[in-house]
């Protein structure tokens, strides 16, 4: 629990504004702000935000975050089939380098990799991959499959969440075998 004391703050609006802030914050200076009766006091800039001002800032940040998340999801889900795309100029010394999109069914694009054959890689081309995949999906990608099946982890997580705690340690090895069975 924080103990409160009175501390004077100088701001541009008022010559001296007395507010209650926590003794721990005032004496040790470990935090950047203090909360007092619905107001937030910033330490570096002696400014006091009211409850409604803080909620407005939090809601704006949340709206921005949700908008970016939805845009990323919309573009990710927009890819349903794998296709070959040109790489960015300057990405490689070879101007003919292309990338293939790696798609997970019912999700969208999860990564991309080079389109070089094994002969081209042994002759000096760089083998690269940029992906956000599960362990079992990596086995598909190593075989050259770029259109992956839908994620099995959704069903596994559902099964795992309804399993009693005493059985979870016994169920985990079985789940791992099931996940790696088809790959």
Segment 30-43, tens digit of pLDDT: 667 788 777 888 77
pLDDT value, residue 150: 86
Q: What are phi and psi of 6, to 5 degrees?
A: -95, 130
Tell which residue, 58, 23, 20, 24, has the closest CA to residue 39.
20
Instruction: Tell me the mean pLDDT in the region 135-161.
Output: 83
pLDDT value, residue 16: 36
The percentage of the chain sitting over the pLDDT mark of 90, rounded to a whole number, equals: 30
State whether the Cα torsion 24-27-29-32 is positive or negative: positive
pLDDT value, residue 1: 31
Judged by average pLDDT, the poorest of 49-58, 63-72, 171-180 is: 171-180
Instruction: Tell me the mean pLDDT in the region 79-90.
Output: 91
Q: Where are the alpha helices (DSSP H) in 42-164?
A: 51-77, 118-122, 135-142, 153-162
State whether the Cα torsion 141-142-144-149 is positive or negative: negative
pLDDT above 80: residue 82: yes
Rg (CA), the chain: 27
Which residues does 2 contact at the CB level (< 8 Å), separation at least 6?
Answer: 22, 23, 24, 25
Judged by average pLDDT, the poorest of 25-34, 68-77, 122-131, 158-167 is: 25-34
pLDDT value, residue 133: 85
Is pTM beyond 0.85 here?
no
pLDDT value, residue 61: 94
Crossing angle (nearest 10°) for helices 135-142 and 165-181: 10
Mean pLDDT of the chain: 78
The percentage of the chain sitting over the pLDDT mark of 70, rounded to a whole number, equals: 80
């Amino acid at each position: 629990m924080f103990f409160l004391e009175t501390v004077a703050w100088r701001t541009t609006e008022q010559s001296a504004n007395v507010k209650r802030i926590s003794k721990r914050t005032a004496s040790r200076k470990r935090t950047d702000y203090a909360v007092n009766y619905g107001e937030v006091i910033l330490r570096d800039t002696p400014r006091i935000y009211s409850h409604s001002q803080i909620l407005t800032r939090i809601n704006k940040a949340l709206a921005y975050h949700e908008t970016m998340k939805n845009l990323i999801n919309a573009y990710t889900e927009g890819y349903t089939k794998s296709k070959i795309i040109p790489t960015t100029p300057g990405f490689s010394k070879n101007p003919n380098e292309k990338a293939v999109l790696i798609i997970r069914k019912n999700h969208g694009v999860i990564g991309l990799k080079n389109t070089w054959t094994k002969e081209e890689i042994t002759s000096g081309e760089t083998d690269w991959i940029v992906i956000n995949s599960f362990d079992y999906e990596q086995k598909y990608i190593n075989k050259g499959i770029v259109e992956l099946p839908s994620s099995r982890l959704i069903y596994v997580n559902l099964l795992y969440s309804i399993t009693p705690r005493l059985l979870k340690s016994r169920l985990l090895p079985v789940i791992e075998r099931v996940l790696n069975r088809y790959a």
